[in-house]
């Protein structure tokens, strides 16, 4: 067993496990997605519902996914199949989804390099919307940055679990937290910042609708990276003695803190009415420009976004790479190269779909939007349902219990609660929200 673990590689200790998994969780989802979804949905009211989703659905699912990985110590496909014959397809579904997410996530990640450089050299200019549109719809420029970002991932991944992922996480995550704190302190120091904050965090329950629950759940799953094999593969690298439940709680806490602090920074800049891409890439640079030392703040903000993206994308890349290494018998370098090339192809197409290929559309969406919507609306909830059903119903009851209570570190009194959440609450709630989500989406077409 121990030789098997060494051969596969693994994290050196508990802190490494927390930092790597928190790195996967904390990403673009926390820094640009959470703030704008919050402001669209009534601020404080949304946050309350979101926290409910994190605790009742996200946390148990994260524990479940870590447990499947830790118990089987394999890549996502073999992991499910090892626990229950015939269930490997669930791992495959996760890997396909994570690959589709990579397709658009790498494009946005690439932009952060250009924006960090353009901020540092003060060359965004006065027309922020124009800069964004010209850049993102260009053919070559965004492509080059996207490919550069994918190659950055590639070199971390071929460095191995400990020499690559763990080392990178130990450098990136403290840096990310430091930048976040500096930006937050600065925004709270501005009087208009404090005022803007009060307005946004005050709950406005009149804005709560069915869609609020949909958005809250989708955000909870996305931000915790659950259901896609990324957390599963990290769970499989946990060193013996790393407690699953404790690690999951640390990850959830850090992820939630970062999302809320990011919202503080963004709301205090008074840009909460902007949404999505426009918020991070157009409104923020504009706000920074009006401040003393604006380009330094702007550079720090995009560096933060880039670091968050990088620590998430390496877990996506690793999940898919582990399949080629363990199931196809390739060397790590070979497996990683295939994933890198595949990601370059898909992300390039997604990048071009914003400009040159924008007229090719399915259901009114270009490839970029299609990848985003399909994974968020269909795959994420579906994987959430299936993962909870797997642990709650398919995994032999005594084995699941043994894994969670012994290795997992879940105490005997808490175990029934988590089991109940996974067996009944997750499948029922997520299915309900899933069906309403699809209906809502079809109506919006």
Query: Which of these, 1, 3, 2, 8, lies nearest to 237 by C-alpha position?
Result: 8
Find the part of the chain contacting ligand TRP (CB under 6 A) among 140-148, 183-191, 219-227, 274-282.
219-227
Q: Is 305 in the site for ligand TRP (CB under 6 A)?
A: no
Taking the C-alpha atoms of residue 309 and residue 303, their distance in angstroms, rounded to an integer, is 10
Site for ligand TRP in 140-179 (CB under 6 A): none
> Counting Cβ atoms within 10 Å, is residue 113 exposed (0-12), middle (13-18) or buried (19+)?
buried
Block residue for tokens 């963004």 = 266
Closest separation in Å from C-beta 312 to ligand TRP: 4
Contact with ligand TRP (CB under 6 A) among 30, 169, 322, 387:
30
Q: Is 24 in the site for ligand TRP (CB under 6 A)?
A: yes
- Yes or no: say if 146 and 113 are a contact pair by the CB < 8 Å rule: no
> Which residue, 287 or 305, is less far from ligand TRP as judged by CB?
305
Contact with ligand TRP (CB under 6 A) among 25, 156, 217, 251:
25
Give the dihedral of Cα atoms 279, 282, 285, 291; nearest 10 deg: -80
- Yes or no: say if 267 and 200 are a contact pair by the CB < 8 Å rule: yes
Closest separation in Å from C-beta 27 to ligand TRP: 2
Closest separation in Å from C-beta 95 to ligand TRP: 10
Q: 293: number of CA atoms within 13 Å, CB side? A: 6
Site for ligand TRP in 307-366 (CB under 6 A): 312, 315-316
* Number of residues counted as binding ligand TRP (CB under 6 A): 16
Site for ligand TRP in 224-253 (CB under 6 A): 225, 228, 230
Closest separation in Å from C-beta 222 to ligand TRP: 5
- Yes or no: say if 436 and 210 are a contact pair by the CB < 8 Å rule: yes
* Interior angle at CA 124, CA 121 and CA 127, nearest 5: 160
Closest separation in Å from C-beta 101 to ligand TRP: 5
Taking the C-alpha atoms of residue 425 and residue 436, their distance in angstroms, rounded to an integer, is 17
Tokens encoding 393: 């119903």
Find the part of the chain contacting ligand TRP (CB under 6 A) among 20-28, 76-84, 139-147, 286-294.
20-28
Find the part of the chain contacting ligand TRP (CB under 6 A) among 24-32, 47-55, 106-114, 161-169.
24-32
> Which residue, 41 or 219, is less far from ligand TRP as judged by CB?
219
Closest separation in Å from C-beta 232 to ligand TRP: 10
Q: Is 28 in the site for ligand TRP (CB under 6 A)?
A: yes
Closest separation in Å from C-beta 255 to ligand TRP: 8
Q: 434: number of CA atoms within 13 Å, CB side? A: 18
Closest separation in Å from C-beta 257 to ligand TRP: 13
The site map against ligand TRP for 75-114 (x = CB under 6 A) is: -----------------------x--x-------------
Block residue for tokens 């924008």 = 358
Site for ligand TRP in 379-398 (CB under 6 A): none
> Which residue, 313 or 366, is less far from ligand TRP as judged by CB?
313
Q: Is 38 in the site for ligand TRP (CB under 6 A)?
A: no
Q: Using CA of residue 118, residue 123, residue 127, residue 131, what is the dihedral sign?
A: negative
Tokens encoding 19: 């930092």
Contact with ligand TRP (CB under 6 A) among 136, 223, 242, 388:
223
Block residue for tokens 């919050």 = 38
- Yes or no: say if 205 and 340 are a contact pair by the CB < 8 Å rule: no
For residue 272, the 8-state DSSP code is: T
- Yes or no: say if 226 and 384 are a contact pair by the CB < 8 Å rule: yes
- The contact set with ligand TRP (CB under 6 A) reads 24-25, 27-30, 98, 101, 222-223, 225, 228, 230, 312, 315-316
């Amino acid at each position: 067993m121990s030789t098997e673990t060494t051969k596969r590689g693994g994290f050196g200790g508990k802190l490494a496990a927390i930092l790597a998994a928190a790195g996967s969780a904390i990403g673009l989802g926390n820094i640009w997605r959470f703030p704008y979804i919050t402001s669209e949905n009534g601020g404080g009211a949304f946050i309350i519902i979101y926290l409910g989703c994190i605790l009742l659905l996200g946390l148990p699912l994260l524990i479940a996914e870590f447990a499947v990985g830790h118990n089987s110590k394999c890549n996502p496909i073999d992991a499910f199949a090892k626990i229950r014959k015939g269930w490997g397809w669930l791992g495959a579904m996760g890997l396909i989804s994570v690959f589709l997410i990579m397709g658009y996530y790498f494009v946005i990640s690439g932009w952060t390099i250009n924006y960090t450089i353009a901020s540092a050299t003060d060359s965004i200019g006065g027309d922020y919307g124009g800069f964004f549109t010209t850049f993102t719809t260009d053919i070559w420029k965004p492509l080059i940055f996207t490919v550069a970002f994918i190659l950055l991932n590639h070199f971390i991944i071929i460095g191995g679990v400990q020499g690559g992922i763990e080392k990178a996480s130990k450098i990136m995550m403290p840096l990310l937290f430091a930048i976040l704190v500096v930006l937050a302190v600065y925004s709270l120091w501005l009087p208009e910042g404090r005022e803007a904050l009060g307005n946004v965090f005050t709950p406005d329950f009149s804005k709560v609708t069915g869609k609020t629950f949909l958005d809250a759940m989708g955000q909870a799953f996305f931000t915790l990276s659950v259901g896609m094999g990324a957390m599963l593969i990290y769970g499989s690298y946990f060193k013996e003695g790393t407690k699953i439940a404790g690690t999951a709680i640390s990850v959830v806490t850090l992820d939630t803190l970062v999302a809320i602090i990011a919202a503080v920074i963004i709301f205090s800049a008074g840009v909460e009415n902007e949404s999505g891409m426009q918020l991070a890439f157009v409104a923020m640079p504009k706000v920074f420009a009006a401040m003393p030392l604006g380009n330094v703040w702007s550079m720090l903000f995009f560096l933060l976004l880039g670091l968050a993206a990088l620590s998430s994308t390496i877990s996506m890349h690793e999940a898919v790479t582990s399949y080629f290494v363990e199931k196809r018998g390739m060397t790590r370098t070979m497996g990683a190269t295939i994933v890198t090339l595949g990601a370059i192809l898909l992300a390039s197409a997604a990048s071009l779909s914003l400009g040159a290929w924008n007229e090719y559309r399915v259901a009114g969406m270009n490839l970029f939007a299609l990848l985003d919507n399909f994974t968020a609306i269909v795959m994420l909830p579906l994987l959430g349902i299936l993962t909870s059903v797997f642990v709650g119903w398919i995994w032999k009851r005594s084995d699941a219990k043994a894994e969670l209570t012994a290795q997992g570190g879940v105490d005997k009194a808490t175990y029934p609660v988590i089991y109940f959440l996974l067996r009944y609450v997750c499948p029922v709630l997520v299915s309900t929200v899933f069906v309403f989500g699809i209906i809502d989406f079809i109506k919006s077409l």
